[in-house]
Structure 1
Amino acid sequence: MRQNIYRHDDLEQTEIRPGLFGAVLEGDQTTLVRWDFPAGQDRTGVHTHAEHEQWGIVLAGSIELEIDGETSTLRAGDAYWIPAGTPHGRTLVLGDEDARVLDVFAPPRAEYVAAAHGGAPSDPTASGGGGAA
């Protein structure tokens, strides 16, 4: 459901990708996903999305992320940009603290919005399609 104000405590967690949970906020021209990555979770796969550019900011914890073959360590407050068509992923939580990441996609991610409304989780690593983190 679209609204103007989203309260942290009211954000509903859903399975957006197989085994990956987050809260999806939908706009007219963008989709935001607040991902929650538990410490010890398996590394994500590499994928691309041809139509979507992606911005992200680490809100809590620390992660390792690969973008276009380059691996970086990101801490709370660090941001990243992934141009459309760029391979990325292999996200891994570093340390014992859970990580929280906010991703912004433009144009909107219809498959993530659908998953948040009860649809099946989207697996971009299986199809080479879009994904987060």
Structure 2
Amino acid sequence: MNLTSEYCHFFDDDEFVETGRPGFRRRVLTGDNLQLCFWRIAGGSVGSFLHKHDEHEQLGVIVRGGLDFRIGDDESDQDRRLVGEHQAYLAPAGVWHGDSIFVGDDEFDECWILDVFSPPRDDLREEAAR
């Protein structure tokens, strides 16, 4: 049975694109109203600065490893959260998040995150089109 079509996508290792940050690779799929960014990030990586999206909601699911980061309404809040495998986080529009440390899993020493954005981010849409 051939499952390949414009509606079915598989995430083979060679489908992930290196980013400008060491240890960060991603694959982006964009629809009309939502967007999936599948991250594979080397354990111990840093480089996610504290930021917010004023026009986008972000929902993240940790598939492998863990995410140690800051999230909240107050940019100066120094409290950190550890989100582990099979757990999720929600960053509504305007909520600060980031300053992340990525915890690798035992098999690949990677953190795998599925980030869903709504509406889609134009910067990621342009990258996926390349």
User: Normalised by the size of structure 2, how large is the TM-score?
Assistant: 0.79
Please state whether the residue corresponding to 1:37 is helix, strand or coil.
Answer: strand
Question: d(CA) in 2 for partners of 1:83 and 1:12?
Answer: 29
Residue range with higher mean Cα deviation, 86-95 or 20-29: 86-95
Please state whether the residue corresponding to 2:63 is helix, strand or coil.
Answer: strand
State the partner residue of 2:115: 103
Work out whether 1:78 is the aligned partner of 2:87: yes
1:59-114 CA-partner distances (Å, limit 9, x unpaired): 00112021113421111100010010111101212356210000000001111121
Shift of the 95–7 alpha-carbon distance from structure 1 to 2, 3 Å rule, reads closer
CA-atom RMSD, angstroms? 2.1
State the partner residue of 2:29: 25
Instruction: Give the 5 Å matches for 1:39-118.
Output: 39-68=43-72, 69=77, 70-94=79-103, 97-118=109-130
By how many angstroms is 1:3 displaced?
2.7
Please state whether the residue corresponding to 1:46 is helix, strand or coil.
Answer: coil
1:33–1:102: 8 Å Cα contact kept in structure 2?
A: yes
State the partner residue of 2:17: 14
Kindly name which structure, 1 or 2, has the bigger radius of gyration based on alpha carbons. Answer: 2
By how many angstroms is 1:42 displaced?
2.1
Aligned amino acid, residue 77 of structure 1: H
Q: Which of structure 1's runs of 4+ aligned residues deviate more than 6 A?
A: none
- Structure 2: runs of 5 or more not aligned: none
By how many angstroms is 1:23 displaced?
0.3
Identity fraction in percent: 32
By how many angstroms is 1:21 displaced?
2.1
Shift of the 7–116 alpha-carbon distance from structure 1 to 2, 3 Å rule, reads same
